[in-house]
Amino acid sequence: MEASLQQRIREIEAQQAALQRELAELYRQAGEATRPPLAGVRILDLSWAVFGPLSTQMLSDMGAEVIKVERVDGGDMGRQTYSAYFTNRNKQSLAVDLRQPEGREIVFKLAETAHVFLQSFRPGVVERLGIDYTAVSQRNPQIVYCSLSGFGQDGPYRHRRAADLIIQGMSGVMSLIGHEGTPPTSAGFLVCDVTGALHNAIAMLLGYIVQQQRGIGQHIELSLFDSAITLQSFPMTWYLNNPDEPPQRAGGGHWRHLPMYGVFETRDQPIVMMAAMREDQWTGMTAVPGMEPLGGDPRFKTLRGRSEHAEELNAQFQDLLLKATRDEWIERFTAADVLCGPIFTYDDVLADPQFQHNDMVGELIDQDGEVMKILRTPIRLSQTPAQVRTPMPDLGQHTETILQELGYTGEAIERLRDQGIVAM
């Protein structure tokens, strides 16, 4: 029975592959081959701040229809900061009071038409509101329901509030940043939120793929805490297998304090180096004009020797670097294929010819008619490129249109607004 079932699955998969090829040809003939890759995908986004909204913006840039479900009294808390402008382009805004039954019914009706349902309430809240996975999947069994949290849907910290900075501290990220003997420091930007958004974008796509291939929905859970732990896969895995050698504060280099790895001074400006990780790199580096003295020291002839005498090697390397300018060294090292680079400020990055060539900056007209500069997505698809279509919507801007699509009459919409169930 099992063998026949597997055979039938393979037959259906082969048929599906043939249909997809036929569909691709029809798209080509109809001139729709360049449609955005996620066109036709509908996502209900009940998240706020950065973690969730940034993940859905990534997908909306690729064509997904994202309906941002917000509170009637103020909307996404990110609207009170500048963060909302960076996480909500290409979306529609539906303002609805989920505490009222009619408000929840609007969300349920939308869920029946959606592929993905995303929420970032604290664990237990969606159960109290009656919009948890069990309830939503009863209305749409194929729904991909994503629950985001700070620490997890269960466990001792499930009810604790979380934010990027707190997670940087509790996940171990801050323990590797800065110099030994100085207080811990943060990454200086929302590294955990952005990493979590990337993980969640992948999670939603995985759920959608399974939904389309196998016709099933599922519940996906992701915590900012777990995502930040995964961000540290290399040092964390090292420590799990070498508990007597905990990773050290990285300073300007590596958590294992590798030789010739990190930030060094030159005659004028600092330079970042990652030299001599392999034997062939060492041979090339010591042939660079000005670096020859290092090649004559017997202590540094092997990788093990360089590691054991890293402090002495770095001291000699630093002394040699002081004899020329940063740009002179970069020219010499680059010619020898030695990994190196300058340390740019944002002004330097924006003026850099490679950055300008990559065309990462775009423009968007905001709701006030002002031109706003934005960063484009770094993902380049040749046939179905990302598109920046609309700015962050005003709170409830699309409420009326969405309700009309769901079949609400003008009179019903007015009643819902008068009763404070929706805002527009």
Residue 278 vs residue 415, higher pLDDT? 415
The answer as to whether 103 is a domain residue is yes
Model pLDDT for residues 52-100, shown as the tens digit of each residue = 999 999 999 999 999 999 999 989 887 877 666 679 999 999 999 999 9
Residue 237: inside a domain: no
Whether residues 67 and 204 share a domain: the answer is yes
Q: Are residues 74 and 190 in the same domain?
A: yes
CA distances (Å), 65 to each of 124, 133, 212, 292, in order?
28, 21, 17, 60
DSSP state of 393: P
Q: Domain containing 18: what range?
A: 1-33
> Is 374 part of any domain?
no
Same domain, 21 and 5: yes
Q: Judge residue 272's burial from the number of C-beta atoms within 10 Å of its C-beta, 0-12 exposed, 13-18 middle, 19 or more buried.
A: middle
CATH number of the domain enclosing 301: 3.30.1540.10
> Distance between CA atoms of 45 and 42, rounded to whole angstroms?
10
Residue 348 lies in a domain: no
173 and 133 in a common domain: yes
Same domain assignment for residues 218 and 269 = no
Is the separation of the CB atoms in 325 and 268 below 8 Å?
A: yes
* Shared-domain flag, residues 216 and 302: no
pLDDT at 374 > cutoff 60? yes
Return the pLDDT at 78: 78
Query: In this structure, is residue 176 part of a structural domain?
Result: yes
CA 404 from centre of chain: 34
pLDDT band at 367 (very low <50, low <70, confident <90, very high): confident
State which of 324, 343, 362 marks the end of a domain: 343
| 358 falls within a domain | no
156 and 199: one domain? Answer: yes
- The yes-or-no verdict on residue 1 having pLDDT over 70 is no
User: What mean pLDDT comes out for the span 234-263?
Assistant: 85
User: CA 412 to CA 54: how far, in whole Å?
Assistant: 33
Instruction: Kindly provide the residue ranges of all beta strands, DSSP E only, lying in 227-298, ordered along the sequence.
Output: 261-264, 271-274
Report the DSSP pairing between strands 116-119 and 144-149: parallel
Q: Is residue 303 part of a domain?
A: yes
The pTM of the full predicted model, rounded to 2 decimals, is 0.89
> Looking at 343, 365, 385, which one is the last position of a domain?
343
CATH number, residue 199: 3.40.50.10540
* 107 CB neighbour count, 10 Å cutoff: 24
Paired residues of 423 in beta bridges: 95
Q: Each residue of 33-59: pLDDT tens digit?
A: 778 999 999 999 999 999 999 999 999
Residues 170 and 214 in one domain: yes
Same domain, 41 and 10: no
Say if residue 95 is in the same domain as residue 132: yes
Please count the other Cβ atoms lying within 10 Å of the Cβ belonging to residue 81.
12
Structurally, the chain folds into a number of domains equal to 3
Provide the β-strand partners of residue 145: 117, 219
* Assigned domain for 87 exists: yes
What residues does 46 pair with on adjacent strands?
Answer: 119
275 pLDDT tier (thresholds 50, 70, 90):
confident
Q: Do 51 and 194 reside in the same domain of the chain?
A: yes
Q: Dump pLDDT digits (tens) for 201-231.
A: 999 999 999 999 999 999 999 999 999 999 9
Cβ-contact 376, 361 below 8 angstroms: yes
| Residue 410 scores a pLDDT above 90 | yes
Does residue 225 share a domain with residue 316?
no
| 175 secondary structure, DSSP code | G
